[in-house]
Amino acid sequence: MVRFALLGLMLFAGTAYAEATDFIGNWKNPDPKPGGITRIAISPNGGDRVDVRAYGDCHPNECDWGLVQGDVYYTDPKSDHVTVIVANFNFGFAHHQITFRKSKNGILFEKLTKLDDNSNRHAFVQSGILKTTTWVGPISQTWQSEPGLMTGWGGGARSGAAAKPQEECTVYDVHDVRAVKERGSWAVKAAGKVLVATGKDDKAALLAEAAFRNYRFDRLCRSGGQWKPYWRSAKGFGTDRMGGVYCLSFHSTTAHVVRSQNSWNIVDGATSLVELGPFKPQADAMLGMIRANKLTGECFIGSPDIMTFWIAEPTR
């Protein structure tokens, strides 16, 4: 009885997530002022949080203001509708508070700047509108530019295009999937085959069984090569976040490929999703899979990542 109660809790426990979808993405200022905002990148950071990275005019170059967590404001205390995001950037000599509001034509912003540089200059306001763009700014100081590579600072393709999804899957009979303990080790088995081995971790085994039942996983897939296998169902990817599972949140339109320390990675903002070593074609293929399926989360069971799967944006 305890076993089924635990499985039920795993299946139905979940987390509420903010409806900040309209703000997520890369945005440019078509009319930047001296010392003002040039570009903004907003990405999800789990729960009701978002990350905001700002780029400013540092004549004659554009400079990275860094990544901060944005404060999310709703229509009312019980609403799921996000109307305002506020981000604060403090450089010691200057403090910028930027407010973002969604409009029909983009994102309206207002930047309040307070100076603390003993210059006797007044605090001031700048405002404008941000337009959507596929161009992304620097993700980290370790990103390395490839000669001739048509990318933004962070490696996101200028065109926003990604390679065609490439996927190879092995299908399993999972009608009798169950977590079992044999010879002191736990595993999830079906039709006599081991699907996931969790060793001494009984909780991971039960959680993996719950995931198979909840998401109806019946195939183990790889995108573009042999690295990073993931589970999914015949119908594709689930959209709910199962209780007890750790997931990295990201947005499919801002996720992109970068090269860091000779490894090709898929990242979104400060979140690194997949490290694929020297295999850029596989990274491109996996990015194509992420964007084609509008994936929003990479989820893991057990340590180190005994079982991996992805979740997608809910259909409307």
Q: What percent of the chain has pLDDT over 70?
A: 79
Peptide bond before 60: cis, by omega within 30 degrees of 0? yes
Statement: residue 19 has pLDDT above 70 = no
Q: Which residue has the higher pLDDT, 311 or 303?
A: 311
* Distance in angstroms (rounded) separating the CA atoms of residues 73 and 64: 25
Statement: residue 236 has pLDDT above 90 = yes
| Closest CA relative to residue 231, chosen from 217, 246, 210, 213 | 217
Instruction: Give the pLDDT band (50/70/90) at residue 14.
Output: very low
Q: Hey, which CATH number is domain 21-133, 1.20.58, 2.40.128, 3.30.420, 3.30.70?
A: 2.40.128
Confidence at residue 160, expressed as pLDDT on a 0 to 100 scale: 46
The per-residue pLDDT for range 102-138, each reduced to its tens digit, is 998 899 999 999 887 667 788 999 999 999 876 655 5
Under 8 Å CB-to-CB from 32, ≥6 apart: which residues? Answer: 38, 57, 128
Averaged pLDDT for residues 26-45: 85
Task: Round the average pLDDT of the chain to a whole number and report it.
Answer: 80
Do 30 and 39 touch, CB atoms closer than 8 A? no
Confidence at residue 162, expressed as pLDDT on a 0 to 100 scale: 55
Phi-psi region of 291 (alpha: psi -120 to 50; beta: other; left: phi over 0): alpha
Backbone angles phi, psi at 276, to 5 degrees: -120, 20
Question: Where is average pLDDT lowest: 170-174, 235-239, 282-286?
Answer: 282-286
Do 71 and 64 touch, CB atoms closer than 8 A? no
Statement: residue 215 has pLDDT above 90 = yes
Beta bridge partners of 291: none
Statement: residue 267 has pLDDT above 60 = yes
Q: Which residue has the higher pLDDT, 283 or 157?
A: 283
Confidence at residue 139, expressed as pLDDT on a 0 to 100 scale: 45
Confidence at residue 285, expressed as pLDDT on a 0 to 100 scale: 87
Give the predicted TM-score (pTM) of the model. 0.59
- CATH 2.40.128 domain span(s) along the chain: 21-133
Confidence at residue 9, expressed as pLDDT on a 0 to 100 scale: 39
* Interstrand relation of 178-182 and 106-115 (parallel, antiparallel or unpaired): unpaired
What beta strand segments (E) does the chain contain? 25-28, 37-44, 50-58, 61-74, 82-90, 94-103, 106-115, 124-133, 168-171, 178-182, 185-190, 193-199, 219-222, 230-232, 246-249, 256-260, 263-268, 271-275, 295-301, 307-312
Confidence at residue 77, expressed as pLDDT on a 0 to 100 scale: 85
Peptide bond before 304: cis, by omega within 30 degrees of 0? yes
